[in-house]
């Protein structure tokens, strides 16, 4: 149980390793990260038996940037037949779990394995229930089985409520046909990730105001309009006509980096592809000058040292806002719909 296994977007294994090494150093958990480029996963191997458990218990999964999913446990080799008996034996020392997820990695092998997992799930579930290892209880840990092949599985657990919201951390969002661009799903995913569902009606309420920087053709604006939020869409490019007919949108052909609203707005969202340091400065200005209450902003990743650079920019934003005496919650995640970028969420706390 001393290994922490983490899923990620293929190509970002190094970022997960850097983030976990940083976290473990902060929490004084001894161990080392390892990964294979392009494998869509990484491991953090702890030196002490309770290392992985301590790492997980002292960290909110939600706060991690690059990992999509996590679990602590061990690899199990599976035979060609009667995999269930071998798994049950390997799980003998695991606690009774409250839910079961069978997962694969976000790779071509993973896609091929998902059919096997679908077939394997029902008989395995039945056997686990019969063996008393699985009960229906949302308070108990989740059993996460990540199949790397039909012969190798990582059998792990994660505390209830401290893991990804969706299997493999991949949201199943339906593309709204009326939305003008696919990036609409990015903003929807950001809301799912950063705003608890029960707070949507209060924090994304009809009648609120928003500025969308780099709005064209309007995928993000569409999400705001869909919640009856009035949007100033800032972009030199054209907005989808259907959105302009909604009556909720004012299009401003202006530079998103110099545009300022006449009155403070509830939301600022920004999807301009720019150097991350420039975007970070923009975030600090909007929150720091009280131009918006909440923001969702895309931060393009640098070419090298991607984790270290993101960390440095987040720390700088945090320090800049603290210097102004402001309390702001800052979150950052590489969402499933993000590629060479991460998404930041900021919310001003207090008055
Ligand atoms: C990735 S696209 C935005 C897509 C949009 N979020 C959507 O969902 O349809 C980036 C946009 O930023 C705009 N852009 C680039 N630099 C800008 C700037 N300095 N000010 C305003 N918009 C800018 C581009 O014209 C482009 O439309």
Edge to edge, the sheet with strand 99-104 lists 31-35, 41-46, 3-7, 69-77, 152-158, 142-149, 99-104
- Give the model confidence (pLDDT) of 94-116 as tens digits: 999 999 999 999 999 999 999 99
69 alpha carbon to ligand 1 midpoint, in Å? 30
Q: Does residue 178 form part of some domain? A: no
**Using a 6 Å CB cutoff, which residues line ligand 1?**
180-181, 183-184, 213-220, 234-237, 255-257, 271-273
- Give the model confidence (pLDDT) of 246-279 as tens digits: 999 999 999 999 999 999 999 999 999 999 999 9
Per-residue tokens: 255: 């530079």
Lowest mean pLDDT among 108-112, 237-241, 253-257, 332-336: 108-112
Tell me: cis bond preceding 65? Omega within 30 of 0 counts: no
Decide: pTM greater than 0.85: yes
On the question of pLDDT at 343 being above 80, the answer is: yes
| Residue ending a domain, choose from 137, 169, 201 | 169
Model pLDDT, residue 351: 66
On the question of pLDDT at 311 being above 80, the answer is: yes
Residues 122 and 210 in one domain: no
Closest ligand 1 atom to 255 CA: 20
235 alpha carbon to ligand 1 midpoint, in Å? 6
Residues 56 and 151 in one domain: yes
216 alpha carbon to ligand 1 midpoint, in Å? 6
Residues 147/113, Cβ–Cβ less than 8 Å: yes
Q: Does residue 116 form part of some domain? A: yes
With the most atoms of ligand 1 within 8 angstroms of its CB, the residue from 189, 210, 214 to mutate is: 214
Task: Name the average pLDDT for the chain.
Answer: 97
Range of the domain at 303: 184-348
| Residue ending a domain, choose from 143, 169, 195 | 169
DSSP 116: H
**Catalytic choice (300, 304, 327, 351):** 300
Q: What are phi and psi of 346, to 5 degrees?
A: -130, 140
Residues 163 and 233 in one domain: no
Closest ligand 1 atom to 182 CA: 8
- Pick the residue whose CA is nearest to atom 11 on ligand 1: 214
> CA 41 → CA 5, 11, 69, 87, distances in Å?
7, 9, 9, 21
Closest ligand 1 atom to 274 CA: 16
218 alpha carbon to ligand 1 midpoint, in Å? 9
Per-residue tokens: 331: 């979150």
Residues 56 and 20 in one domain: yes
Q: Does residue 207 form part of some domain? A: yes
Residues 165 and 188 in one domain: no
- Pick the residue whose CA is nearest to atom 7 on ligand 1: 219
- Pick the residue whose CA is nearest to atom 25 on ligand 1: 237
Closest ligand 1 atom to 221 CA: 8
Model pLDDT, residue 129: 98
With the most atoms of ligand 1 within 8 angstroms of its CB, the residue from 178, 216, 238 to mutate is: 216
Rounded distance between C-alpha atoms, residue 127 and residue 124, angstroms: 5
Q: Does residue 340 form part of some domain? A: yes
Per the listing, tokens 């995913």 go with: 189
Residues 154 and 192 in one domain: no
Q: Does residue 252 form part of some domain? A: yes
Residues 197 and 157 in one domain: no
Give the total number of structural domains in the chain. Answer: 2
Instruction: Give 108's contacts (C-beta < 8 A, 6+ positions apart).
Output: none
On the question of pLDDT at 1 being above 90, the answer is: no
Active site residue 300: yes
Q: Does residue 177 form part of some domain? A: no
Q: Does residue 175 form part of some domain? A: no
The domain that holds 321 is classified in CATH as: 3.40.50.150
Closest ligand 1 atom to 186 CA: 8
Residues 159 and 17 in one domain: yes
Instruction: Report which of 40, 42, 39, 20 is spatially closest to residue 31, judged by C-alpha positions.
Output: 20
271 alpha carbon to ligand 1 midpoint, in Å? 6
Instruction: Report which of 309, 312, 330, 320 is spatially closest to residue 284, judged by C-alpha positions.
Output: 320
Neighbouring-strand partners of residue 134: 97
| Residue ending a domain, choose from 144, 169, 194 | 169
Residues 153 and 83 in one domain: yes
- Give the model confidence (pLDDT) of 15-28 as tens digits: 999 999 999 999 99
> CA 267 → CA 27, 205, 282, distances in Å?
34, 11, 14
Residues 219 and 71 in one domain: no
Residues 133 and 17 in one domain: yes
Model pLDDT, residue 307: 97
- Number of other CB atoms surrounding residue 174 within 10 Å: 7
């Amino acid at each position: 149980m001393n290994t922490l296994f983490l899923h990620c977007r293929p190509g970002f294994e190094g970022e997960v390793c850097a983030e976990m090494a940083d976290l473990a150093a902060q929490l004084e958990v001894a161990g080392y990260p390892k990964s294979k480029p392009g494998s869509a996963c990484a491991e953090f191997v702890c030196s002490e038996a309770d290392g992985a458990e301590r790492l997980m218990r002292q960290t909110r999964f939600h706060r991690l940037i690059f990992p999509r999913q996590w679990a602590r446990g061990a690899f199990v080799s599976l035979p060609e037949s009667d995999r269930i008996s071998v798994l049950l034996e390997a799980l003998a020392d695991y606690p009774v779990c409250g839910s079961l997820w069978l997962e694969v990695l976000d790779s071509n092998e993973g896609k091929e394995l998902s059919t096997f997992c679908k077939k394997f799930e029902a008989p395995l579930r039945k056997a686990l229930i019969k063996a008393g290892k699985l009960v229906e209880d949302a308070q108990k840990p989740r059993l996460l089985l990540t199949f790397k092949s039909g012969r190798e599985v990582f059998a792990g657990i994660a505390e209830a409520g401290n893991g990804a919201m969706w299997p493999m951390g991949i949201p199943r969002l339906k593309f709204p046909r009326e939305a003008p661009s696919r990036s609409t799903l990015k903003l929807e995913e950001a809301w799912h990730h950063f705003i608890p569902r029960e707070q949507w009606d209060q924090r994304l309420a009809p009648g609120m105001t928003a500025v969308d920087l780099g709005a064209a053709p309007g995928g993000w604006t569409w999400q705001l309009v869909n919640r009856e939020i009035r949007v100033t869409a800032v972009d030199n490019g054209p907005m989808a006509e259907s959105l302009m007919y909604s009556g909720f949108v004012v299009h401003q052909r202006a530079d998103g980096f110099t545009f300022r609203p006449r009155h403070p707005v509830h939301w600022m969202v920004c999807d301009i592809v720019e150097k991350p340091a420039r975007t970070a400065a923009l975030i600090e200005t909007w929150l720091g000058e009280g131009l918006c209450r909440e923001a969702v902003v895309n931060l393009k990743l640098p070419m090298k040292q991607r984790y270290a650079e993101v960390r440095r920019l987040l720390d700088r934003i945090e320090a800049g806002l603290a210097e102004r005496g402001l309390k702001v919650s800052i979150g950052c995640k590489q969402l499933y719909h993000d590629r060479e970028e991460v998404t930041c969420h900021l919310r001003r706390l207090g008055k």
